[in-house]
Structure 1
Amino acid sequence: MTTSPDPLTSQDTRTPVALTRDSVTLDGLERTSTVLGSTDSPAARPLVLVFHGSRQDADSHRRFTHDALLPLAASGQAVVAYLNGYRGNWNDARRESAFPARLRGVDDVAFARIMVDRLSASHGIDPHRVVTVGYSNGGQMVLRLLHEAPELVAAAVIVAATMPTPESFLSSETAPPARPTPIALVHGTHDRIVPFDGGTMSWWARRMFRVGGRTLSAPDTAAYLAARNGIVGRPELQPLPHLATSHGRTSVVRTRYSAPDAPDVTLYEVRGGGHTIPGREPSPRVVGRTTGDITLEDLVAEAVRRS
């Protein structure tokens, strides 16, 4: 790993944050990441693995989210690792994906495992407290990890991604049994790229992002994941307060699946929201409206606490 000579500074804590660049060779490919958090902090910190969206990389995704997770690293609550996909994408579990990572058969599950091992050695993270965070194509990658490497994921936050339908899902026949996992999902009802109601993406999105197939709706995705956690009862719906500091004309309804002795699955339905990440700063207008009534930082911090 190489360390940046100019540590980042969290605007929330005013604390410098060590930034390192990691590189590893896997199946003949150089795989890279950006890691926030010092190597000499107390051991057994949780690890947050972040998977960017299509046509992004680790650093552009950090900028896209306005460094929302920097305070977690600055405060020592977790090490945050932004992983880089292959040529801007992840080899997710959608059968009809046709971007380079799929066509080359890139093993992103192995990449995630290797990064947990490397950061256990270099940063002293607790390999049993790994929180996976994914946006769009990165969210699809987290869904793949939940199915193919459930032992790796202690908690998950998935933004703007939904489960492929069975015929479009590339699940391994030798996949391990489901592991009950606390999961938070965020999805905008006006998402023009990944439809809230499921089905197929619009023709221009399929062409631009080189994906296809059908997906479940966001509510059906939450119900499916809840069933994997052993939760079969009706969920609890609750409108969340609209904060005075929130931007945009959106509102949030929380749908929570819970049961005794089972981790919750929670869907945050952003009414009027687009293909965006919730936070204090809006996403670019081209991807739709952003809610500030919930934030990525708070959702990930809660996932870290529950990991």
Structure 2
Amino acid sequence: MRACKRVVGMLAICCAVLLPCTGFALDDSLRDRVKERMAERRTASGQAESVPAATPPGDHVYTLRHGGLERRYRLHVPTGYDAARPMPLLVALHGGGGNMDYQANDKFYGLISKSEREGFVVAFPNGYSRLRGGRLATWNAGRCCGDARDRNIDDVGFIRKMVAEIGQRVNVDSARIYATGMSNGGLMSYRLACEMADVFTAIAPVAGTDNTLTCSPARPVSVLHIHARDDGHVLFEGGAGPAAVDGAKITDFTSVADTVAKWVQLNGCRREAQRTLETAGVYCDTYSQCRGGAQVQLCVTEDGGHSWPGGNKPRIGAKPSRAISANDVMWEFFSRR
């Protein structure tokens, strides 16, 4: 009788572990909890991952586990890196439907080249994707976007863990950690400013406004917002434009003006802006006298649509503005922090 009970118990375990099994199925959330519990048991038994090895200059791809998921990121360490001297870290977030490889492609965004010229480490995390290769990924930026939002993926927790791990791999200057992002990645950078103000000193979203659900930053965070007047996805005046994807996967985007006003208030800045740049096709307004030495700056291009100023765009649509380089403007902004 006792042997029979053992057999029944073993069969039950098989049905719980080997999928599919007749009459049994684990939904994704339960599967994630099972994986997380197994990871916890490995940690408790002394099988936790060792401290990451030092990372030499070059391009690297790493995987970490968070929230029951395998998350990946690319890391570029410039050739001038000296382990004895801390370097700034830039976290660059791809747009919705993109991935880390696309954001790290120098032909489109030029961030690797900028890293080499200015001397900073740049990380390209991959958003949540149901596809094995991580393509068509999105970020849970609050009210947007896609599966990451709908499944309430903990992207903030993932990025916090990634930044901490990078700090073990390279000598990062903790006072100079910044974030930027394109579109959904820009939206996500606002969420990082809201929830990781203890980590990020400044952000520079491009073509993505603040669509967070709540925002109570622990300290002032400097914000540089870059947007094209003719953006057909995230409309300058608010809302989703005609070029945007399935409306159920996005949101009624906050306007640029409301986004900037929110951060002027959060940072306690003077409400009157100073025009700090005005040239053909672009202007920049700066809000100063903010708490903690922060700044809020808005740069608006007249054309370029939903794109990265100074970059290249392989898809159809407006060509990126050449009036400014997003990389040059943001690094000059970051360097003042």
Do the two structures share a fold, i.e. TM-score over 0.5? yes
| Native 8 Å contact 2:53 2:169 kept in 1 | no
2:119 to 65, 70, 77: 77
Query: RMSD between aligned alpha carbons?
Result: 2.6
Query: Of residues 75, 87, 92 in structure 2, which corresponds to 1:50?
Result: 92
Contact (CA 8 Å) 1:52, 1:138: kept in 2 or not?
A: yes
- Partner letter of residue 82 of structure 1? F
Q: Aligned letter for 2:256?
A: A
In the superposition, the TM-score normalised over structure 1's length comes to 0.81
How far off its partner does 1:236 sit? 1.6
Q: Distance in 1 between matches of 2:173 and 2:122?
A: 12
- Which of the residues 19, 22, 25 maps onto 2:65? 25
* Closer, same or farther: CA 209–20 of 1 in aligned 2, 3 Å: farther
Name the counterpart of 1:293. 323
**Residue in 2 that maps onto 1:155:** 202
Kindly state the Cα deviation for residue 294 of structure 1 after the two structures are TM-superposed: 1.6
1:240/1:284 Cα in 2 relative to 1: closer, same or farther (>3 Å)? farther
Q: How do 1:182-261 residues align onto structure 2 when only pairs under 5 Å count?
A: 182-198=222-238, 200-202=239-241, 205-207=244-246, 210-212=249-251, 214-242=252-280, 251-259=281-289
Gaps of 5+ in 2: 1-51, 130-136
Provide closer, same or farther for how the CA distance between residues 205 and 294 of structure 1 changes in structure 2, counting only shifts above 3 A: same
Q: Deviations over 1:260-285 (max 9, x none)?
A: 66422111111123001011x44246
Given that residues 282 and 323 in structure 2 are in contact (C-alpha distance below 8 angstroms), is that contact kept between their aligned partners in structure 1?
yes
2:94·2:100 contact (CA, 8 Å) conserved in 1?
yes
- Cα shift at 1:64: 7.1
Counterpart Cα distance in 2 of 1:187 and 1:32: 28
Question: SS of 2:295's equivalent?
Answer: strand
- With a CA cutoff of 8 Å and minimum separation of 6, indicate the structure with the bigger relative contact order: 1
Q: TM-score if structure 2 supplies the norm length?
A: 0.74
Paired residues in the alignment total: 276
Which structure has the bigger radius of gyration?
2
Counterpart of 1:272 (choices 297, 300, 303) is 303
CA contact (8 A) 1:254 1:269 kept: yes
After superposition, what is the alpha-carbon deviation per residue over 1:190-243, rounded to whole angstroms, capped at 9, x for unaligned?
111000001x2146625167112x33321221122111111133112355334x
Which has the larger strand fraction?
Answer: 1
What is residue 136 of structure 1 aligned with on the other side?
A: 183
Which residue, out of 202, 213, 225, partners 1:170? 213
Unaligned runs of at least 5 residues, structure 1: 8-16, 243-250
Counterpart AA for 1:25: R
SS class of match (1:302)? helix
